[in-house]
Amino acid sequence: MPTYDEGANFLAEKWTAEKVTDVQLKDKVRDPAALYAQVIATWRVRLGGNDAAFVQAFGAQDPNAAGKLAQLDREQNVENGGSQTAVMAYYTTVATALAATKKARNDVSSVLKAAASAYVKKGEKIDEAQLVNLGKRQVTLTSLYRSAKAGDVDSRLTSWATEQIAKQANITTKQVQAANVVLDDAAKMEAMKELLKTSDAGKAQSYLDPAKTLVQAQAWYAGDEVQMTPAGNGTIFTDWMLANARAPEPSADGSIAVTFLPTPLKEVRKPTAFDGMNNPTWSPAAVPANTFGALDGAPRLFVQTSIPFGQVLSAHRQF
């Protein structure tokens, strides 16, 4: 099988040793999906069941995947000393996924990301006594839209978008409504953006549903996003936290600056290579004695679980 040469060669050697006849061979290669599964299964067996070696060999043609796997092999921050166990289990998860569905060897990163979901936010906990309060956070307009109140906000956005369509078409809003124009998320997001620039300027907080959370998955914090108190590790930890503030989430539509109530951070953990699997710019920090992580060249980051929007004091647009 082209591009799967190692596994195909192993399978050919196996069939040669088994003295497979030409008739049997034609039957074995009839189904491409079954043939791929046999190639992968034989490849894994030939490597002695070492799924780490298999995944690394399979993903060698994907530079991003190869880089992430190299980071994974250096992982030491999984809680309760479980780094090695987690890494080996992860490799088996990835190998099983690669065997189940044919995947191009230069596009393995998507499989790595999907498999990492069960292993994120498993890093060692950071002593909360070292962290006072989360002061601020920037979220994208997309995040704000997804976290908006379902009823009145949707009605507000739909009403504004309907008026714009009516103006552009030189018809009445009733005519637009009668035409049953369906407004998609993109149209409603554009409505939110324009409203926040005009009549709803300074009212971003009114869109937030207090029952929803700021962080749907993992969040990265650093620098001036927290206040620090002296800690047992002294200058190393304090320097780690206070240097290099994280850049706002990238968004072509701008972002929303959110200020929180002075509530202690919860479940603050060291980031691991699993957390970094979904962020192409993350890498383990190279700073001596600093085992946390780097993002966009700023080593000194940690991850935290969700924060309720009910703790938001203010929210203002940054566009």
Give the tens place of pLDDT for each residue, 238-263.
Answer: 343 333 233 344 456 667 777 766 55
Count of the separate structural domains present in the chain? 3
Cα separation, 124 vs 31, in Å, equals 46
Residues 197 and 217 occupy one common structural domain:
no
Residues 233 and 197 occupy one common structural domain:
no
Confidence of residue 126 (pLDDT cuts 50, 70, 90): low
Residues 170 and 224 occupy one common structural domain:
no
Extended beta strands in the chain, E state? 131-134, 136-140, 219-221, 226-228, 255-260, 282-283, 294-295, 298-299, 302-304, 312-317
Domain that holds residue 154: 148-207
| Per-residue confidence (pLDDT) for residue 9, from 0 to 100 | 86
Give the mean pLDDT of 287-299: 43
Residues 309 and 278 occupy one common structural domain:
yes
In a domain, residue 123? The reply is: no
Give the mean pLDDT of 121-140: 65
Cα separation, 46 vs 15, in Å, equals 13
Confidence of residue 15 (pLDDT cuts 50, 70, 90): confident
Query: Identity (one letter) of the amino acid at 267?
Result: E
Residue 208 near residue 315, CB atoms below 8 Å: yes
Distances (CA, A) of 210 to 30, 144, 231: 57, 12, 33
Q: Is 295 exposed, middle or buried (0-12, 13-18, 19+ CB in 10 A)?
A: buried
Residue 257: helix, strand or coil by DSSP?
A: strand
In a domain, residue 37? The reply is: yes
Residues 174 and 214 occupy one common structural domain:
no
Residues 134 and 168 occupy one common structural domain:
no
Cα separation, 260 vs 130, in Å, equals 18
pTM higher than 0.85? no
Last residue of a domain, one of 167, 182, 207: 207
CA 105 to chain centre: 21
In a domain, residue 122? The reply is: no
Q: What is the mean pLDDT of the chain?
A: 75
Residue 312: helix, strand or coil by DSSP?
A: strand
**Which residues neighbour 90 within 8 Å (Cβ) at sequence distance 6 or greater?**
72, 115, 116, 119, 274
